[in-house]
Chains A and B, each alone.
Chain A
Amino acid sequence: MNFDLKETAEAMQLAFKGAVGEHWKDASGLVGQMLKGYERRMLLLAKAVAAGEIELDEVPGHLDDQRLIWEAQMEAIKTLSKAIAQKAVNAALDVLYTALKNIR
């Protein structure tokens, strides 16, 4: 029997970390982009109000648009996190499978 549990567990952990690592930075960068976009949109809303194109009583409706956007963006981040987790867990399982293949 050629199966080292400790070694396999360490290799699985490494595979998991490797799969998460690179993408985690992308996810954080995305949140930064989203916050900047929100700033831009709020500035445009303020300009439209100042220009008299949007009345004050219409502002709540426009803030509701921002809620729709945030909800959509949160769904995107949720899927991104799940995709990273899927890749990481499956990478660890691949290591386990390879180790099990070597059992003789």
Chain B
Amino acid sequence: MRNLTLFAILSLFVFSCQVKFVSDYDASIHQQIIQTADRVERMYTRMLMDEAARPYSVQLENYVEVETQLRSLLRQNQARDKGEGAVKICQNALEMWTKYRLEHEEKGVLGEMTMELYRENLSAMFQAMEVEENAKKIAQAKEEKP
């Protein structure tokens, strides 16, 4: 009887001691990151390949859509428990995206080297976002028993 009580107390202790340092992995957020990154990649690649696609007015719809997605990702991450890392990445991505949009709006057309640089910068930002979300899968994965 004493052993049973001891077992119950210890079990409760161990159960309550399962640690949680990161938020749970969210497949829909991961998918949204990939889709937004692809849209940005497509937009810059098209502008690099097709001069007619370069004016700001032609890309306005892409700017609206990507900014909406980035704001949506920021909002979703702000609502998650232990999601501060993802929030910071989204804030930085949004800051960069807005800066590039305003520059494009002001100049009308961006130079080729500048477009290549911005495509690479944004790609690095989305990579960070993807790595951050993907890492949460590791936390949830159980070791395979031999």
A: which residues have CB within 8 A of B? 1, 15, 18-19, 23, 30, 34, 37, 40-41, 44-45, 47-48, 51, 53-54, 62, 65-66, 68-69, 71-73, 75-80, 82-87, 89-91, 93, 96-97, 100-101, 103-104
Other A-B contacts than A82-B135, A82-B139, 4 sampled, CB-CB below 8 A, are: A48-B117, A54-B114, A69-B128, A76-B89
Residues of A within 8 A of B129 (CB): 72, 76
Given A18-B143, A76-B85, A97-B14: A82 in contact with B114 (beta carbons within 8 A): no
CA distance A72 to B132 in the complex (A): 9
B residues engaging A (CB < 8 A)? 3, 6-7, 10-11, 14-15, 17-22, 85-86, 88-89, 92-93, 95-96, 99, 111-114, 116-117, 120-121, 124-125, 127-129, 131-132, 135-143
A100 to chain B, nearest CB (A): 5
> A44 to nearest B CB, angstroms?
4
B114 in complex: contacting residue of A41, A48, A97, CB < 8 Å: A48
Q: Main SS of the interface on chain B?
A: helix
The answer to whether B21 touches A68 (Cβ under 8 A) is no
Instruction: Return A87 CB to nearest CB of chain B, in Å.
Output: 5
CA distance A91 to B132 in the complex (A): 21
B14→A100 contact, CB < 8 A: yes
CB-based A-B contact count at 8 angstroms:
140
* Residue of A23, A78, A87, A93 with highest tally of chain B CB at under 10 A: A87
State the Cβ distance, A91 to closest chain B Cβ, in Å. Answer: 5
How far is it, in angstroms, between the C-alpha of A91 and the C-alpha of B19 when the chains are bound? 10
Q: Is the CB of B11 within 8 A of A104?
A: no
In the bound complex, do residue B7 and residue A103 qualify as a contact, i.e. CB atoms below 8 Å apart? yes
Q: Please name all residues of chain A whose beta carbon is closer than 8 Å to the beta carbon of B121 when the two chains form the complex.
A: 41, 65-66, 69
Contacts of B3 in A (CB 8 A): 1, 103-104
**Once the chains are docked, how many angstroms separate the CA of A51 from the CA of B15?**
62
Task: Decide if A79 touches B117 in the complex (CB within 8 Å).
Answer: no
Closest to B111 in A: A53
Indicate which residue in A37, A48, A80, A101 contacts B135 across the interface (CB closer than 8 Å).
A80
A contact residues around B10 at 8 Å (CB):
100, 103
